[in-house]
Amino acid sequence: MKNSILSSVGKTPMVTLRDKKLENINLFVKLEGNNPTGSVKDRAASYVLDKLLETGEINKDTTIIESSSGNFGISLASYCKEKGLKYCCVIDPNILPINETIIRSLATEVIKVTERDETGGFLKTRIRLIEELICAKENYYWVNQYGNPYVAEAYYNSIGVEICNEVKVDYAFIGVSSGGTITGISNRIKKEYPHSKIIAVDSIGSLVFTDKPQKRYIPGIGSSMRPKIIEKAIIDDVVLISEADTAKKCLELLKKHSILVGGSSGTVIAAIEKYFRNKKFKDKPNVVCLFADRGDRYAGTIYCDEWLNNNLL
């Protein structure tokens, strides 16, 4: 029995995914959409806020501030409300309407920037605004998912432990956006299984691993800058996937496996297929990935024929 829905974070299902295109591997998927607000980001939001309160770095008078147009914004809004903390979320016009509705219903304040940065996106504009606010106002704490070591620590101590206890890992494929997830998980897996391979998955047009920006439409994976936190990640290889292939794999997962997931999950599956295509093994390796969020919030994008035809296909 749980005291609240938000206390049921973690201990998500690990399932076997069988597909004819992947018969040369054993594929295991961690279903992070089963977290309370629907994504892996619940792990970081709950852990970081508890840690900050425990260390005294924040108190009930502190305003938590973060740049997010997606899952982390929702998670922080939810857990701040539960803990009686004020929360300011900085978003941009690319936010999905459903995400904006949820964040506005839970957060103390929402600020939407409209000026594009030098990459053509909004991320650096959002961050510059936060830096100005925390300099001008007292008792603001910027969570900073792109650089806060507590974020990586959250994943190291939660999903990293769960994965290592559930599967002997040969390969782990992890989508990259703000960088905390792969940093925490990679360090934990490498500690338990030193010979495992960590494969970072990113979208074409993201600037995490390349310097070639391109307009991207699908949130939840990729970034218009390289997060500082990822410097601590242990990465053996990188696979880049087009957003068209991402959408196709999301639709395929729904039709073939009855799994409704967000864009990053389709990107990861496309990367696994690309990486292991035509490879032969004496013994099938164990391959782990995570489906970072549910797909219901993408009903008007990835799962909408009109949107796909207008933007990706």
Q: Confidence band (pLDDT; 50, 70, 90) for 286? A: very high
Number of H helices, E strands in the chain: 10, 10
* pLDDT score of 122 more than 90: no
CA distance 64 to 51: 13
| pLDDT tens string 64-102 | 999 987 899 999 999 999 999 999 999 999 899 999 999
pLDDT at 257: 95
pLDDT at 137: 86
| pLDDT tens string 223-272 | 988 999 999 999 999 999 999 999 999 999 999 999 999 999 999 999 99
Instruction: State residue 296 phi and psi, 5-degree precision.
Output: -65, -30
2-15: average pLDDT: 92
CA distance 53 to 284: 45
| pLDDT tens string 128-179 | 999 999 988 889 999 999 999 999 999 999 999 999 999 999 999 999 999 9
**Of 219, 308, 196, nearest in space to 267 by CA:** 219
CA distance 227 to 230: 6
What is the sign of the dihedral through the CA atoms of 210, 216, 221 and 226? positive
Looking at 80-94, 112-126, 278-292, which range is the least confident one? 112-126
192-207: average pLDDT: 97
Asked if 171 and 197 touch (Cβ cutoff 8 Å), the reply is yes
pLDDT at 313: 75
Instruction: State residue 294 phi and psi, 5-degree precision.
Output: -75, 165
**Of 70, 266, 92, 94, nearest in space to 175 by CA:** 266
Give the three-class secondary structure for 81: helix
Share of the chain above pLDDT 90, in %: 87
β pairing state of 63-67 and 86-91: parallel
pLDDT at 32: 97
CA distance 10 to 6: 10
